[in-house]
Structure 1
Amino acid sequence: MLLIINLMQKIILFFSLLLVSIGALAQRDTAAFTKFNSFNNAVLNGGIKKVEAQKQFDMVLKRIALLEMLRAEFIQPKLQWVFPLKGYNSSAIGGTHGNGYFDKGYRYLDGNKHGAHPAHDIFINDKNQDCIDDRTGKPVNVLSVDDGWVIACCNEWEPNSNMRGGKFIWIYHPKAAVFTYYAHNSAIFVKPGSYVTQGQKIAEVGRTGYNAYKKRSPTHLHFSEFKLVDGIPVPFNPYEQLKKARTL
């Protein structure tokens, strides 16, 4: 009996130490996300070399792999996205059959000065450009298309800024090994290191960003998807996934 009690005490001590270790790792991982967020902001200002970018992406993805392991959850990859705007579907995508997307000339390391438009603009009903849906009288929620980790975001933007994305969010989706990018938001409700689930509200549609702020631009979400190629994000066209996405 005494032997069993000693064994139970050792097991309890082991799991107590494990929980402390997990807490310490979580704190360090939050710091890792903050560091990556600072790196991503530096990319926008230019001058970051490819080797440094590869190092930073490798670092944050290793942290995410560790966190996924600690979560100890087996999650089946989602076969279908949730559409990134609540109450909307692919009919809100600009252009004809998604032809507003063109990624030729885009380089992640070009930052704010990159060329092309590797994204789909998804427009809301907002004739007076007040960022309120004309049908509902409420802001339009931006949703995460899938489960993932917020690796970078910016919740500050001034009208005199030349930054194109305005208030933006980058999410990494480990099950699919892809990144999604949401720009021009009016408000952001996540931060680097946040774990988000499919369909979770992450922002509200806005008009932040150098071009989106101008009156000539209808209110919209700028949405992109990327994969890592040689350690650097490369865009690919998510139009078919958006067409099949489920509306909430």
Structure 2
Amino acid sequence: MQKLILFFSFVLIGSGALAQRDTAAFTKFNSFNNSVLNGGIKKAEAQKQFDMVLKRINLLEMLRAERIQPKLQWVFPLKGYKSGAIGGTHGNGYFDKGYRYLDGNKHGAHPAHDIFINDRNQDCIDDHTQKPVDVIAVDDGWVIACTNQWEPNSNMRGGKFIWIYHPATHIFTYYAHNNQIFVKPGGYVTQGQKIAEVGRTGYNAYKKRSPTHLHFSAFKLADGIPVPYNPYEQLKKAKTL
């Protein structure tokens, strides 16, 4: 009996230590992602970092009581809004030609959909509800990188952003220009969970000429590096909360 108690104690201690190491791994990946924004990261290093963080997620998934199951559809990333809020005509604001993840803050193209809120006076408050608009996770996943710091004189395009990896579908989603974020690297989020509030952070989003919006992207791994794909149809079919 004593041996059995010692065995389970060892398992629990080991699981706790693993969780701590995984949190550290997420923090390291977050620092790596910030380095990508500043430029100078080689492809081999990027592949190594993505491989590392996905292995950590797989280990964490093994420790979870319930595995993440694929959902039939997303929820729309802005609470109270639907696909009609997506900019452009039939999603034509999305174009990924020329985009490279490793180009960081200097990348070309616009591999994203801008989703606009009702905010004529640009105070980040919905004109109808008189409340901030919640940014929500489209699916279950793990926060792999984010930042809640941005200064108006910064040239960083994304402002306060969040990257989430969704193990059930092996995709990444990216949420940018937030006013405030409520998650940290290594955090697990469920579909529909509030992760941020819509804002105007980011080099272009901060300017008066830019209506208040969420910049939303989706990626898949190709040769160990995130490559964007157009999620317009998934957004059109997404549930509204």
Is the CA contact 2:95–2:111 (under 8 Å) kept in the aligned structure 1?
A: yes
Q: 1:171 maps to what in 2?
A: 164
Of 68, 85, 109, the match for 2:78: 85
TM alignment of 1:147-158, pairs within 5 A: 147-158=140-151
TM alignment of 1:65-80, pairs within 5 A: 65-80=58-73
Deviation at 1:27, TM superposition (A): 0.4
Of 98, 115, 138, the match for 2:108: 115
Residue 178 of structure 2 is aligned to residue 212 of structure 1 = no
Of 95, 115, 118, the match for 1:125: 118
d(CA) in 1 for partners of 2:101, 2:230: 15
- Worse overlay, 156-165 or 9-18: 9-18
Deviations 1:193-243 (A, max 9, x none): 000000000000000000000000000000000000000000000000000
Residue 21 of structure 2 is aligned to residue 33 of structure 1 = no
Segments ≥4 residues shifted beyond 4 Å: none
- Counterpart of 2:65, as a letter, is A
Deviation at 1:45, TM superposition (A): 0.4
Of 139, 142, 162, the match for 2:132: 139
Secondary structure in 2 aligned to 1:106? Answer: coil
**Alpha carbon RMSD of aligned pairs, Å?**
0.7
Secondary structure in 1 aligned to 2:92? Answer: coil
Secondary structure in 1 aligned to 2:36? Answer: helix
Deviation at 1:14, TM superposition (A): 1.4
Of 18, 27, 32, the match for 2:11: 18
Deviation at 1:15, TM superposition (A): 1.4
Secondary structure in 2 aligned to 1:98? Answer: coil
How many residues get paired? 241
Secondary structure in 2 aligned to 1:43? Answer: helix
Gaps of 5+ in 1: 1-5
d(CA) in 2 for partners of 1:190, 1:167: 11
Give the fraction of aligned pairs with identical amino acids, expressed as a percent. Answer: 87
Is the CA contact 2:68–2:140 (under 8 Å) kept in the aligned structure 1?
A: no
Q: 2:216 maps to what in 1?
A: 223
- Counterpart of 1:21, as a letter, is G
Calculate the TM-score normalised by the size of structure 1.
0.96
Secondary structure in 1 aligned to 2:138? Answer: coil
d(CA) in 1 for partners of 2:149, 2:237: 33
Secondary structure in 1 aligned to 2:227? Answer: strand
Deviations 1:37-79 (A, max 9, x none): 0000000000000000000000000000000011131342101
Is the CA contact 2:68–2:167 (under 8 Å) kept in the aligned structure 1?
A: no
Q: 1:101 maps to what in 2?
A: 94
- Counterpart of 2:133, as a letter, is V
> Which protein has the larger Cα radius of gyration, Structure 1 or Structure 2?
1
Is the CA contact 2:134–2:196 (under 8 Å) kept in the aligned structure 1?
A: yes
Deviation at 1:83, TM superposition (A): 0.4
d(CA) in 1 for partners of 2:20, 2:141: 18
Secondary structure in 1 aligned to 2:148? Answer: coil
Deviations 1:99-128 (A, max 9, x none): 000000000000000000000000000000
Secondary structure in 1 aligned to 2:209? Answer: coil
Q: 2:185 maps to what in 1?
A: 192
d(CA) in 2 for partners of 1:12, 1:89: 53
- Counterpart of 2:64, as a letter, is R
Q: 2:36 maps to what in 1?
A: 43
Secondary structure in 1 aligned to 2:90? Answer: coil
Residue 62 of structure 2 is aligned to residue 57 of structure 1 = no
Residue 236 of structure 2 is aligned to residue 243 of structure 1 = yes
d(CA) in 2 for partners of 1:183, 1:77: 24
- Counterpart of 2:160, as a letter, is K
Gaps of 5+ in 2: none
